[in-house]
Structure 1
Amino acid sequence: MKKIIVLTSILLLGACSSIPDTLQAPENARLVNYQDVVTQNVSENAQARWGGVIANVKNNADGSVIEIVHYPLRASGRPNLRAESIGRFKAFVDGFIDPLVFKQERVVSVLGTVGEPVSDIIQEQPYVYPSIQVSGYHLWEDVQEVDVQTISVMPFYRFGHGFGFDSGFPYFRSRHYLNYLENRRIRIRSNNNQSGQPSGVPTKNTTGSDGAQSTSSTTSHTRQVLPERTVPPPRPQLERPRQVDERDRVRNK
Protein backbone atom coordinates (compact mmCIF):
# COMPACT_ATOMS: atom_id res chain seq x y z
CA MET A 1 0.00 0.00 0.00
CA LYS A 2 2.87 2.36 0.81
CA LYS A 3 4.46 1.69 -2.57
CA ILE A 4 1.21 2.60 -4.32
CA ILE A 5 0.95 5.86 -2.37
CA VAL A 6 4.56 6.80 -3.15
CA LEU A 7 4.14 5.99 -6.85
CA THR A 8 0.92 8.03 -7.03
CA SER A 9 2.63 11.00 -5.36
CA ILE A 10 5.51 10.86 -7.84
CA LEU A 11 3.12 10.79 -10.80
CA LEU A 12 1.12 13.73 -9.43
CA LEU A 13 4.27 15.77 -8.84
CA GLY A 14 5.49 15.00 -12.35
CA ALA A 15 2.17 16.07 -13.85
CA CYS A 16 2.14 19.32 -11.87
CA SER A 17 5.72 20.24 -12.82
CA SER A 18 5.50 19.44 -16.54
CA ILE A 19 6.79 22.22 -18.78
CA PRO A 20 4.81 23.22 -21.91
CA ASP A 21 6.14 21.89 -25.20
CA THR A 22 6.98 25.35 -26.54
CA LEU A 23 9.29 25.92 -23.56
CA GLN A 24 11.10 22.60 -23.81
CA ALA A 25 14.82 23.09 -24.40
CA PRO A 26 16.90 20.71 -26.54
CA GLU A 27 18.45 17.74 -24.81
CA ASN A 28 21.72 18.38 -22.96
CA ALA A 29 21.19 22.14 -23.37
CA ARG A 30 22.51 24.31 -20.55
CA LEU A 31 20.07 27.08 -19.68
CA VAL A 32 21.55 30.28 -18.28
CA ASN A 33 19.70 32.29 -15.66
CA TYR A 34 18.93 35.97 -15.67
CA GLN A 35 21.45 36.95 -13.01
CA ASP A 36 24.40 35.52 -14.92
CA VAL A 37 23.46 37.51 -18.01
CA VAL A 38 23.10 40.73 -16.00
CA THR A 39 26.57 40.32 -14.52
CA GLN A 40 27.95 39.79 -18.08
CA ASN A 41 29.30 36.34 -17.30
CA VAL A 42 27.49 34.70 -20.21
CA SER A 43 28.30 34.96 -23.89
CA GLU A 44 25.71 35.54 -26.58
CA ASN A 45 23.72 32.74 -28.27
CA ALA A 46 23.40 30.87 -24.96
CA GLN A 47 20.10 29.10 -24.32
CA ALA A 48 17.79 30.70 -21.76
CA ARG A 49 14.28 30.28 -20.42
CA TRP A 50 12.95 33.36 -18.65
CA GLY A 51 9.58 34.68 -17.64
CA GLY A 52 7.72 37.40 -15.83
CA VAL A 53 5.00 40.02 -16.20
CA ILE A 54 4.45 41.91 -19.45
CA ALA A 55 5.14 45.64 -19.13
CA ASN A 56 4.89 46.73 -22.77
CA VAL A 57 4.54 45.40 -26.32
CA LYS A 58 5.79 47.14 -29.47
CA ASN A 59 5.41 46.04 -33.08
CA ASN A 60 7.73 47.35 -35.79
CA ALA A 61 8.76 46.46 -39.31
CA ASP A 62 11.33 43.90 -38.12
CA GLY A 63 9.08 42.09 -35.65
CA SER A 64 7.81 42.57 -32.13
CA VAL A 65 9.43 43.45 -28.82
CA ILE A 66 7.98 42.42 -25.45
CA GLU A 67 9.25 44.22 -22.37
CA ILE A 68 9.00 41.82 -19.42
CA VAL A 69 9.55 42.32 -15.70
CA HIS A 70 11.62 39.28 -14.75
CA TYR A 71 10.55 36.79 -12.05
CA PRO A 72 12.17 33.46 -11.22
CA LEU A 73 10.53 30.40 -12.75
CA ARG A 74 8.94 27.50 -10.95
CA ALA A 75 9.56 23.87 -11.88
CA SER A 76 6.57 24.05 -14.25
CA GLY A 77 8.07 27.03 -16.11
CA ARG A 78 5.55 29.52 -14.70
CA PRO A 79 7.01 32.68 -13.12
CA ASN A 80 6.85 32.84 -9.34
CA LEU A 81 5.25 36.22 -8.69
CA ARG A 82 5.73 35.85 -4.94
CA ALA A 83 9.49 36.04 -5.39
CA GLU A 84 11.44 39.26 -5.79
CA SER A 85 12.05 40.76 -9.22
CA ILE A 86 15.58 41.91 -9.95
CA GLY A 87 15.08 43.64 -13.29
CA ARG A 88 13.61 43.63 -16.77
CA PHE A 89 14.49 42.18 -20.14
CA LYS A 90 13.32 42.47 -23.73
CA ALA A 91 12.11 39.52 -25.77
CA PHE A 92 12.41 39.88 -29.56
CA VAL A 93 9.83 37.91 -31.55
CA ASP A 94 9.76 37.39 -35.32
CA GLY A 95 6.27 38.28 -36.45
CA PHE A 96 3.27 40.10 -35.07
CA ILE A 97 2.28 40.09 -31.40
CA ASP A 98 -1.24 41.28 -30.66
CA PRO A 99 -1.15 43.85 -27.81
CA LEU A 100 -4.73 42.96 -26.88
CA VAL A 101 -3.68 39.36 -26.25
CA PHE A 102 -0.27 40.11 -24.72
CA LYS A 103 -1.71 42.74 -22.43
CA GLN A 104 0.08 44.43 -19.59
CA GLU A 105 0.34 42.42 -16.36
CA ARG A 106 -0.14 39.11 -18.21
CA VAL A 107 2.26 36.36 -17.12
CA VAL A 108 4.46 34.93 -19.87
CA SER A 109 7.49 32.64 -20.23
CA VAL A 110 9.85 32.58 -23.22
CA LEU A 111 12.56 30.29 -24.54
CA GLY A 112 15.36 31.42 -26.84
CA THR A 113 18.95 32.57 -27.20
CA VAL A 114 20.60 35.43 -25.36
CA GLY A 115 21.28 38.51 -27.50
CA GLU A 116 23.09 41.80 -27.11
CA PRO A 117 22.07 44.18 -24.31
CA VAL A 118 19.66 46.92 -25.37
CA SER A 119 19.87 50.46 -23.98
CA ASP A 120 16.59 52.30 -23.46
CA ILE A 121 14.86 54.72 -21.10
CA ILE A 122 12.30 54.00 -18.36
CA GLN A 123 10.54 57.20 -17.32
CA GLU A 124 13.51 59.42 -18.20
CA GLN A 125 15.97 57.02 -16.58
CA PRO A 126 18.49 55.09 -18.73
CA TYR A 127 18.26 51.32 -18.45
CA VAL A 128 20.20 48.46 -20.03
CA TYR A 129 17.97 45.50 -20.89
CA PRO A 130 19.23 41.96 -21.32
CA SER A 131 17.66 40.57 -24.49
CA ILE A 132 16.53 37.19 -25.74
CA GLN A 133 15.60 36.06 -29.25
CA VAL A 134 12.41 34.07 -28.73
CA SER A 135 11.98 30.60 -30.24
CA GLY A 136 8.93 29.65 -28.14
CA TYR A 137 6.59 31.25 -25.65
CA HIS A 138 3.74 30.36 -23.33
CA LEU A 139 1.17 32.88 -22.13
CA TRP A 140 -0.12 31.65 -18.79
CA GLU A 141 -3.73 31.81 -17.71
CA ASP A 142 -4.89 34.50 -15.31
CA VAL A 143 -5.32 33.27 -11.75
CA GLN A 144 -7.18 35.47 -9.27
CA GLU A 145 -7.12 34.70 -5.57
CA VAL A 146 -10.22 35.76 -3.64
CA ASP A 147 -10.75 35.65 0.12
CA VAL A 148 -14.15 34.19 0.98
CA GLN A 149 -15.89 34.18 4.36
CA THR A 150 -18.69 31.68 4.91
CA ILE A 151 -21.08 31.13 7.81
CA SER A 152 -21.67 27.51 8.74
CA VAL A 153 -24.56 26.34 10.90
CA MET A 154 -24.45 23.11 12.90
CA PRO A 155 -27.99 22.17 14.00
CA PHE A 156 -28.82 20.04 17.02
CA TYR A 157 -25.56 20.93 18.72
CA ARG A 158 -25.45 18.86 21.92
CA PHE A 159 -28.98 17.52 22.27
CA GLY A 160 -30.92 18.62 25.30
CA HIS A 161 -30.19 21.40 27.73
CA GLY A 162 -28.81 21.88 31.18
CA PHE A 163 -25.56 20.76 32.72
CA GLY A 164 -23.74 17.58 31.76
CA PHE A 165 -20.34 15.93 31.66
CA ASP A 166 -18.07 15.33 28.65
CA SER A 167 -14.83 13.39 29.19
CA GLY A 168 -15.09 14.13 32.89
CA PHE A 169 -15.48 17.90 32.42
CA PRO A 170 -18.77 19.70 33.06
CA TYR A 171 -20.39 21.77 30.34
CA PHE A 172 -23.68 23.50 29.72
CA ARG A 173 -25.80 22.01 26.96
CA SER A 174 -27.92 24.37 24.88
CA ARG A 175 -30.66 23.83 22.35
CA HIS A 176 -29.40 26.68 20.17
CA TYR A 177 -27.67 26.23 16.83
CA LEU A 178 -23.92 26.58 16.56
CA ASN A 179 -22.84 29.27 14.08
CA TYR A 180 -19.19 29.76 13.16
CA LEU A 181 -17.26 31.70 10.52
CA GLU A 182 -14.88 30.03 8.10
CA ASN A 183 -12.26 32.01 6.18
CA ARG A 184 -10.70 30.50 3.10
CA ARG A 185 -9.03 31.56 -0.15
CA ILE A 186 -10.17 30.33 -3.54
CA ARG A 187 -8.51 30.61 -6.96
CA ILE A 188 -10.41 31.67 -10.05
CA ARG A 189 -8.76 30.46 -13.27
CA SER A 190 -9.59 32.11 -16.58
CA ASN A 191 -8.27 29.24 -18.75
CA ASN A 192 -6.87 31.73 -21.29
CA ASN A 193 -3.39 30.27 -21.63
CA GLN A 194 -1.74 30.26 -25.06
CA SER A 195 1.42 28.70 -26.50
CA GLY A 196 3.15 29.43 -29.78
CA GLN A 197 6.31 29.82 -31.79
CA PRO A 198 7.39 32.79 -33.91
CA SER A 199 7.23 32.61 -37.68
CA GLY A 200 10.26 30.90 -39.17
CA VAL A 201 10.79 28.58 -36.22
CA PRO A 202 10.35 24.92 -37.21
CA THR A 203 7.57 23.17 -35.35
CA LYS A 204 7.58 19.63 -34.09
CA ASN A 205 6.89 16.89 -36.61
CA THR A 206 3.38 15.46 -36.22
CA THR A 207 3.79 12.67 -38.81
CA GLY A 208 4.36 9.05 -37.94
CA SER A 209 7.15 6.76 -39.05
CA ASP A 210 5.35 5.88 -42.28
CA GLY A 211 4.76 9.55 -43.19
CA ALA A 212 1.05 9.47 -42.42
CA GLN A 213 -0.31 12.49 -40.62
CA SER A 214 -1.58 12.18 -37.09
CA THR A 215 -5.29 11.69 -36.79
CA SER A 216 -5.46 14.23 -33.96
CA SER A 217 -4.42 17.09 -36.26
CA THR A 218 -6.66 16.30 -39.22
CA THR A 219 -10.38 16.45 -39.51
CA SER A 220 -12.53 14.99 -42.27
CA HIS A 221 -15.47 16.93 -43.60
CA THR A 222 -17.94 14.47 -45.10
CA ARG A 223 -21.51 15.18 -45.96
CA GLN A 224 -23.94 12.83 -44.37
CA VAL A 225 -26.61 11.52 -46.73
CA LEU A 226 -29.89 10.87 -45.02
CA PRO A 227 -32.29 8.24 -46.38
CA GLU A 228 -35.41 9.47 -48.09
CA ARG A 229 -38.49 9.50 -46.01
CA THR A 230 -41.20 7.10 -47.14
CA VAL A 231 -44.81 8.12 -46.76
CA PRO A 232 -46.97 5.25 -45.50
CA PRO A 233 -50.09 4.46 -47.56
CA PRO A 234 -53.37 5.90 -46.31
CA ARG A 235 -55.37 3.73 -44.02
CA PRO A 236 -58.52 2.28 -45.62
CA GLN A 237 -61.72 3.86 -44.44
CA LEU A 238 -64.30 1.40 -43.20
CA GLU A 239 -67.93 2.06 -43.96
CA ARG A 240 -69.92 2.65 -40.87
CA PRO A 241 -73.19 0.60 -40.63
CA ARG A 242 -76.30 2.56 -41.46
CA GLN A 243 -78.44 3.20 -38.46
CA VAL A 244 -82.06 2.12 -39.05
CA ASP A 245 -84.66 4.46 -37.76
CA GLU A 246 -87.44 3.05 -35.59
CA ARG A 247 -90.06 4.39 -38.05
CA ASP A 248 -88.48 2.55 -40.98
CA ARG A 249 -88.43 -0.63 -38.97
CA VAL A 250 -92.21 -0.37 -38.30
CA ARG A 251 -92.90 0.34 -41.96
CA ASN A 252 -90.95 -2.71 -43.08
CA LYS A 253 -93.05 -4.89 -40.81
Structure 2
Amino acid sequence: MAKYWLVSFVLLCTACASVPKKLELPENTQTVEFSSAKSPTAAIIGQKARWGGVIAAIKNNADNTMLEVVNFPLNYKLRPNKSDETQGRFRVYFKGLLDPVIYKVGRSITALGNVAELESGEIGEHKYDFPVLKDASVHLWKNIQRVDINLRQSPYYYHNDPYYWSGSHINYSRPVVIRSSSSNNKQSNKSIMPPVKKR
Protein backbone atom coordinates (compact mmCIF):
# COMPACT_ATOMS: atom_id res chain seq x y z
CA MET A 1 0.00 0.00 0.00
CA ALA A 2 2.90 2.33 0.72
CA LYS A 3 3.84 2.64 -2.93
CA TYR A 4 0.27 3.66 -3.82
CA TRP A 5 0.35 6.40 -1.19
CA LEU A 6 3.66 7.58 -2.65
CA VAL A 7 2.21 7.72 -6.18
CA SER A 8 -0.83 9.65 -4.92
CA PHE A 9 1.42 12.12 -3.10
CA VAL A 10 3.50 12.73 -6.23
CA LEU A 11 0.39 13.29 -8.35
CA LEU A 12 -0.98 15.72 -5.75
CA CYS A 13 2.26 17.71 -5.77
CA THR A 14 2.21 17.75 -9.57
CA ALA A 15 -1.35 19.10 -9.61
CA CYS A 16 -0.39 21.86 -7.17
CA ALA A 17 2.68 22.93 -9.16
CA SER A 18 2.30 26.37 -10.69
CA VAL A 19 3.99 28.07 -13.60
CA PRO A 20 6.38 31.01 -13.02
CA LYS A 21 4.46 34.23 -12.32
CA LYS A 22 6.13 36.18 -15.13
CA LEU A 23 4.77 33.61 -17.62
CA GLU A 24 1.18 33.63 -16.36
CA LEU A 25 -1.72 34.80 -18.53
CA PRO A 26 -5.40 35.32 -17.77
CA GLU A 27 -7.46 32.16 -18.16
CA ASN A 28 -8.65 31.41 -21.73
CA THR A 29 -6.07 33.77 -23.27
CA GLN A 30 -5.30 32.65 -26.81
CA THR A 31 -1.59 32.41 -27.63
CA VAL A 32 0.15 32.07 -30.98
CA GLU A 33 1.81 28.73 -31.70
CA PHE A 34 5.43 28.83 -32.86
CA SER A 35 4.57 27.00 -36.09
CA SER A 36 2.08 29.75 -37.02
CA ALA A 37 4.64 32.51 -36.42
CA LYS A 38 7.04 31.10 -39.01
CA SER A 39 4.69 32.52 -41.66
CA PRO A 40 2.99 35.34 -39.75
CA THR A 41 -0.19 37.01 -40.95
CA ALA A 42 -1.41 40.47 -39.97
CA ALA A 43 -3.91 38.81 -37.62
CA ILE A 44 -1.23 37.43 -35.27
CA ILE A 45 1.15 40.41 -35.22
CA GLY A 46 0.97 41.90 -31.74
CA GLN A 47 -0.71 38.83 -30.25
CA LYS A 48 0.66 37.07 -27.17
CA ALA A 49 2.91 34.03 -27.53
CA ARG A 50 4.76 31.83 -25.07
CA TRP A 51 7.71 29.95 -26.53
CA GLY A 52 10.72 28.26 -25.00
CA GLY A 53 13.96 26.56 -25.78
CA VAL A 54 17.72 26.73 -25.38
CA ILE A 55 19.78 29.89 -25.79
CA ALA A 56 21.95 29.75 -28.92
CA ALA A 57 23.20 33.38 -28.85
CA ILE A 58 22.83 36.58 -26.84
CA LYS A 59 23.44 40.19 -27.87
CA ASN A 60 23.26 43.23 -25.59
CA ASN A 61 22.02 46.28 -27.51
CA ALA A 62 21.86 49.87 -26.31
CA ASP A 63 18.32 49.58 -24.89
CA ASN A 64 17.49 45.87 -24.99
CA THR A 65 18.87 42.34 -25.05
CA MET A 66 18.31 39.94 -27.93
CA LEU A 67 18.26 36.20 -27.29
CA GLU A 68 18.42 33.73 -30.16
CA VAL A 69 16.68 30.56 -29.01
CA VAL A 70 16.41 27.01 -30.36
CA ASN A 71 12.72 26.19 -30.01
CA PHE A 72 11.44 23.16 -28.07
CA PRO A 73 7.87 22.31 -26.98
CA LEU A 74 6.85 23.22 -23.43
CA ASN A 75 5.69 20.86 -20.69
CA TYR A 76 2.89 21.48 -18.17
CA LYS A 77 5.16 23.79 -16.16
CA LEU A 78 6.06 25.69 -19.37
CA ARG A 79 9.62 24.37 -19.24
CA PRO A 80 11.15 23.38 -22.62
CA ASN A 81 11.42 19.66 -23.30
CA LYS A 82 14.83 19.34 -24.95
CA SER A 83 15.26 16.66 -27.62
CA ASP A 84 17.14 15.98 -30.85
CA GLU A 85 14.42 17.65 -32.93
CA THR A 86 13.32 21.28 -33.11
CA GLN A 87 10.91 23.36 -35.18
CA GLY A 88 13.54 26.05 -35.66
CA ARG A 89 14.80 29.18 -33.93
CA PHE A 90 13.33 32.47 -32.81
CA ARG A 91 14.47 35.78 -31.36
CA VAL A 92 13.39 37.33 -28.08
CA TYR A 93 13.78 41.04 -27.28
CA PHE A 94 13.89 41.97 -23.60
CA LYS A 95 13.75 45.62 -22.51
CA GLY A 96 16.86 45.95 -20.40
CA LEU A 97 20.07 44.07 -19.73
CA LEU A 98 20.37 40.29 -19.46
CA ASP A 99 23.85 39.37 -18.28
CA PRO A 100 25.55 36.97 -20.75
CA VAL A 101 27.32 35.27 -17.84
CA ILE A 102 23.92 34.20 -16.46
CA TYR A 103 21.90 33.93 -19.68
CA LYS A 104 24.58 31.96 -21.42
CA VAL A 105 24.47 29.63 -24.40
CA GLY A 106 22.93 26.27 -23.48
CA ARG A 107 20.62 27.51 -20.71
CA SER A 108 16.87 26.86 -21.00
CA ILE A 109 14.41 29.77 -21.07
CA THR A 110 10.72 30.40 -21.65
CA ALA A 111 9.56 33.78 -22.95
CA LEU A 112 6.19 35.52 -22.99
CA GLY A 113 5.88 38.40 -25.44
CA ASN A 114 4.20 39.92 -28.49
CA VAL A 115 4.61 38.41 -31.93
CA ALA A 116 6.42 40.73 -34.36
CA GLU A 117 7.44 40.61 -38.02
CA LEU A 118 10.01 38.05 -39.13
CA GLU A 119 13.65 39.15 -39.02
CA SER A 120 16.15 38.03 -41.64
CA GLY A 121 19.45 36.68 -40.35
CA GLU A 122 21.86 33.83 -40.60
CA ILE A 123 22.70 30.61 -38.78
CA GLY A 124 26.33 30.15 -39.72
CA GLU A 125 26.27 30.88 -43.44
CA HIS A 126 22.67 29.74 -43.86
CA LYS A 127 20.11 32.52 -44.35
CA TYR A 128 17.19 32.23 -41.94
CA ASP A 129 13.97 34.12 -41.16
CA PHE A 130 13.49 34.32 -37.39
CA PRO A 131 10.06 34.53 -35.72
CA VAL A 132 10.26 37.32 -33.13
CA LEU A 133 8.88 38.05 -29.66
CA LYS A 134 9.15 41.66 -28.50
CA ASP A 135 8.61 43.31 -25.09
CA ALA A 136 9.14 39.87 -23.62
CA SER A 137 9.31 38.54 -20.08
CA VAL A 138 12.00 35.89 -19.81
CA HIS A 139 12.18 33.06 -17.27
CA LEU A 140 15.56 31.35 -16.89
CA TRP A 141 15.26 27.72 -15.77
CA LYS A 142 17.61 26.17 -13.25
CA ASN A 143 19.78 23.33 -14.47
CA ILE A 144 18.57 19.90 -13.35
CA GLN A 145 21.12 17.85 -11.41
CA ARG A 146 20.75 14.13 -12.05
CA VAL A 147 21.94 11.43 -9.63
CA ASP A 148 22.35 7.80 -10.69
CA ILE A 149 20.50 5.76 -8.05
CA ASN A 150 19.85 2.04 -8.38
CA LEU A 151 17.12 0.66 -6.12
CA ARG A 152 17.01 -3.05 -5.37
CA GLN A 153 13.61 -4.16 -4.10
CA SER A 154 12.93 -6.85 -1.54
CA PRO A 155 10.87 -9.71 -3.05
CA TYR A 156 8.70 -9.70 0.05
CA TYR A 157 5.80 -7.49 1.03
CA TYR A 158 6.89 -3.89 1.64
CA HIS A 159 6.13 -2.21 4.96
CA ASN A 160 7.02 1.19 6.39
CA ASP A 161 8.86 -0.48 9.27
CA PRO A 162 12.37 -1.40 8.04
CA TYR A 163 12.16 -4.64 10.05
CA TYR A 164 8.83 -6.38 9.65
CA TRP A 165 7.71 -9.99 10.02
CA SER A 166 5.33 -11.18 7.28
CA GLY A 167 4.42 -14.77 8.04
CA SER A 168 7.63 -16.77 7.81
CA HIS A 169 9.45 -14.02 5.92
CA ILE A 170 11.48 -11.11 7.21
CA ASN A 171 11.13 -7.85 5.30
CA TYR A 172 13.93 -5.34 5.39
CA SER A 173 14.48 -1.84 4.06
CA ARG A 174 15.58 -1.56 0.47
CA PRO A 175 19.32 -1.08 -0.12
CA VAL A 176 20.27 1.86 -2.30
CA VAL A 177 23.39 2.05 -4.45
CA ILE A 178 24.56 5.54 -5.39
CA ARG A 179 27.18 5.70 -8.11
CA SER A 180 29.43 8.70 -7.79
CA SER A 181 31.35 10.16 -10.69
CA SER A 182 34.33 10.78 -8.37
CA SER A 183 37.08 8.17 -8.67
CA ASN A 184 38.36 9.10 -5.21
CA ASN A 185 35.22 7.91 -3.44
CA LYS A 186 35.86 4.16 -3.30
CA GLN A 187 32.92 3.54 -0.96
CA SER A 188 30.26 5.05 -3.25
CA ASN A 189 29.47 1.85 -5.19
CA LYS A 190 28.85 -0.36 -2.15
CA SER A 191 25.38 -1.54 -1.21
CA ILE A 192 24.12 -0.53 2.21
CA MET A 193 22.25 -3.44 3.81
CA PRO A 194 20.88 -3.09 7.34
CA PRO A 195 21.17 -6.14 9.59
CA VAL A 196 18.16 -8.43 9.87
CA LYS A 197 16.46 -7.94 13.18
CA LYS A 198 13.89 -10.29 14.69
CA ARG A 199 11.13 -9.06 16.98
TM-score, length-scaled by structure 2: 0.66
Q: Could you tell me which residue of structure 2 aligns to residue 37 of structure 1?
A: 37
Q: Could you tell me which residue of structure 2 aligns to residue 78 of structure 1?
A: 79
Q: Could you tell me which residue of structure 1 aligns to residue 163 of structure 2?
A: none
Q: Could you tell me which residue of structure 2 aligns to residue 21 of structure 1?
A: 21
Q: Distance in 1 between matches of 2:136 and 2:176?
A: 50
Q: How far is 1:115 from its partner? A: 0.7
Residue type at the aligned position of 2:52: G
Alignment partner of 2:117: what SS? coil
Q: How far is 1:87 from its partner? A: 0.3
Q: Could you tell me which residue of structure 1 aligns to residue 138 of structure 2?
A: 137
Question: Is residue 2:151 matched to residue 1:128?
Answer: no
Q: Could you tell me which residue of structure 2 aligns to residue 247 of structure 1?
A: none
Q: Could you tell me which residue of structure 2 aligns to residue 64 of structure 1?
A: 65
Alignment partner of 2:146: what SS? strand
Does the aligned pair in 2 maintain the 1:64–1:95 contact within 8 Å?
yes
Q: Could you tell me which residue of structure 2 aligns to residue 97 of structure 1?
A: 98
Q: How far is 1:63 from its partner? A: 1.0
Q: Distance in 2 between matches of 1:30 and 1:67?
A: 24
Give the 3 Å change call, closer, same or farther, for CA 67–184 of structure 1 in structure 2.
Answer: same
Q: Could you tell me which residue of structure 1 aligns to residue 112 of structure 2?
A: 111
Alignment partner of 1:36: what SS? helix
Matches within 5 A, 1:144-223: 144-147=145-148
Aligned length: 153
Does the aligned pair in 2 maintain the 1:50–1:110 contact within 8 Å?
yes
Q: How far is 1:146 from its partner? A: 4.7
Q: How far is 1:36 from its partner? A: 1.2
Q: Distance in 2 between matches of 1:181 and 1:73?
A: 33
Residue type at the aligned position of 2:24: Q
Q: Distance in 2 between matches of 1:86 and 1:57?
A: 20
Does the aligned pair in 2 maintain the 1:72–1:83 contact within 8 Å?
no
Does the aligned pair in 2 maintain the 1:25–1:111 contact within 8 Å?
no
Structure 1 spans left out of the alignment, 5+ residues: 155-179, 186-253
Q: Which digits, 9 at most, give the CA deviation of each residue in 1:64-99, with x for residues without a partner?
A: 100000000001010011373110000001111100
Q: Could you tell me which residue of structure 2 aligns to residue 170 of structure 1?
A: none
Q: Distance in 1 between matches of 2:97 and 2:15?
A: 34
Q: Distance in 2 between matches of 1:184 and 1:135?
A: 42
Q: Distance in 2 between matches of 1:76 and 1:109?
A: 10
Q: Which has the larger radius of gyration?
A: 1
Larger relative contact order (C-alpha < 8 A, sep ≥ 6)? 2
- Root-mean-square deviation (Å): 3.1
Give the 3 Å change call, closer, same or farther, for CA 101–183 of structure 1 in structure 2.
Answer: closer
Q: Distance in 2 between matches of 1:66 and 1:19?
A: 21
Q: How far is 1:24 from its partner? A: 0.2
TM-score, length-scaled by structure 1: 0.53
Q: Distance in 1 between matches of 2:9 and 2:177?
A: 31
Q: Percent identity?
A: 35
Q: Could you tell me which residue of structure 1 aligns to residue 88 of structure 2?
A: 87
Residue type at the aligned position of 1:84: E
